[in-house]
Amino acid sequence: MTIMTVNKTPLFYGLLGCLCVSLSGCGMFFGDDGIFRNRENDYLKADNIPPLVLNENLDTRALGELYPIAPITEADFGYENNPEGFETPRPAPLSSNVLQESVKIQRLGGQSWILLNVAPGEVWPRVRHFLNTNGLSVASADISSGVIETDWIQFKTDLTTYDRYRLQIDQGVQPETSEIHILHTSIPSSAGPTAEVNWPASSTNGEREKWLLDELAATLASDTSEGGTSLLAQSIGGATKANLGMIRNEPVMFLKLDRARALGTLSHSVKQEGFSPYESDASGIFYLHYRKVDTDEPGWFARKWNALFGDSEKTQLKLESPYSLEQLVAALPEDEALEQAPLSNRAEEKIHPNAPGYLLIVTGEDGNLVVRLRDPYGKRLEARQARAMLTILRKNLI
């Protein structure tokens, strides 16, 4: 019998050493005690630092919390009394319109206004710069209300009238957006410029309103470098015109708009991101279908198929309900009974059984509207479901 021996050369020992180092390397560098250990949960071990205490004779006005956390109250959207399995709500998503044009003209019925994807604090100085550059002297400017009134002017093409403009800068429907509304009035030149102005409800001359609206929008869109930011103008118009909140533990949407504007912007929103309207009426009720949209990008084959034969998802949204909106509205609870409606249980409904979809119900007065999302029988949805769907609707308001 022959016994073979291995010649342990220096190369052998070198390979053996490298193997040992590689086996222990992960623990040495990336383990719990390694140099590059995972620190993502270190914040859980952090402790509170007691606040700094100064002598009572010293001035403490300069001291304060750098990042104060406001307490959560029942009025805050997403708060529920004694919730089971409470989850911290995600921040509200940016409006889908914020990523579109930075300046555009919106029209609804007989109304027109400029929409900008910047805060009023940036819009105010840019509008003042536009007026100064174009020789439109300012008669008055109230930064607290966002109103600028020009002085009387005369158009060279028409010397029979004196004209004046009123520009209103407001918070937009979405956060960090602004709206500019323009009102025009004129008087006969024989009357002469007057100090008092009786502003009409709508512009005296629609063409001259449109002229200034187009000129201002074009200037704001072409040059964003002038004007800077006004800190005093940041509070113009108060809060945003669309907010989410709670009423009696039910998620709702508050709209600080007149009814015509509210119904117009909701009509746009109920056609986006999985929503599809069956019907709507003038009273402010929308009958909707909703299916959650798959956010995953389709593969190459699916994109080619949709390009050749159409998007099957979009065609499936064109559905019909066995019941009309008129039938559903006739069976709805009214007034206080609607507000205090119980949770939805579609299986127990005897009138219009198995009705699909949802009802979006707008109530309240101009400037203080409440939007509720209910099942087809007017019953309340589970809070998290209603909150998620209202968040999508709010994001797509214009």
Q: Is residue 21 part of a domain?
A: no
Does residue 128 share a domain with residue 166? yes
For residue range 70-99, what is the model confidence (pLDDT) as tens digits? Answer: 666 655 555 555 555 555 556 555 555 555
**CA 207 – CA 161 distance, rounded (Å):** 14
* Tokens 């533990």 -> residue: 249
Q: What is the CATH number of the domain that holds 373?
A: 3.30.310.170
What burial letters (b/e) apply to 161-185, b meaning 16+ CB within 10 Å? bbbbbbbbbbbbbbebbbbbbbbbb
For residue range 44-66, what is the model confidence (pLDDT) as tens digits? Answer: 788 877 877 778 887 776 666 66
Does residue 369 share a domain with residue 251? yes
Does residue 279 share a domain with residue 215? no
Contacts of 17 (CB under 8 A, 6+ apart): none
Q: pTM, whole model, 2 decimals?
A: 0.70
Take residue 111 and report the two structure tokens written for it.
């109304």
Q: Is residue 267 part of a domain?
A: yes
Where does a domain end: 235, 264, 299?
A: 235
**CA 11 – CA 2 distance, rounded (Å):** 25
Structural domain span for residue 222: 103-235
Does residue 213 share a domain with residue 286? no
Q: What is the CATH number of the domain that holds 213?
A: 3.30.530.50
Other beta carbons within 10 Å of 397: 24
Q: Is residue 39 part of a domain?
A: no
Where does a domain end: 200, 235, 270?
A: 235
Domain count for the chain:
2
Of 12 and 162, the one with more pLDDT: 162
Does residue 381 share a domain with residue 260? yes
Per-residue pLDDT at 302 exceeds 80: no
Q: Is residue 151 part of a domain?
A: yes
For residue range 144-181, what is the model confidence (pLDDT) as tens digits? Answer: 889 999 999 999 888 999 999 999 999 989 888 899 99
Does residue 211 share a domain with residue 165? yes
Question: Can you give the pLDDT at residue 278?
Answer: 95
Does residue 254 share a domain with residue 229? no
What is the amino acid identity at position 284?
G
Does residue 384 share a domain with residue 259? yes
Does residue 325 share a domain with residue 190? no
**Nearest partner of 253 among 88, 52, 154, 392, judged by Cα:** 392
Q: Is residue 119 part of a domain?
A: yes
Q: Is residue 95 part of a domain?
A: no
Does residue 286 share a domain with residue 200? no
Does residue 186 share a domain with residue 130? yes
Measured between alpha carbons, how far is residue 74 from residues 16, 86, 250 in Å? Answer: 66, 14, 11
Does residue 198 share a domain with residue 291? no
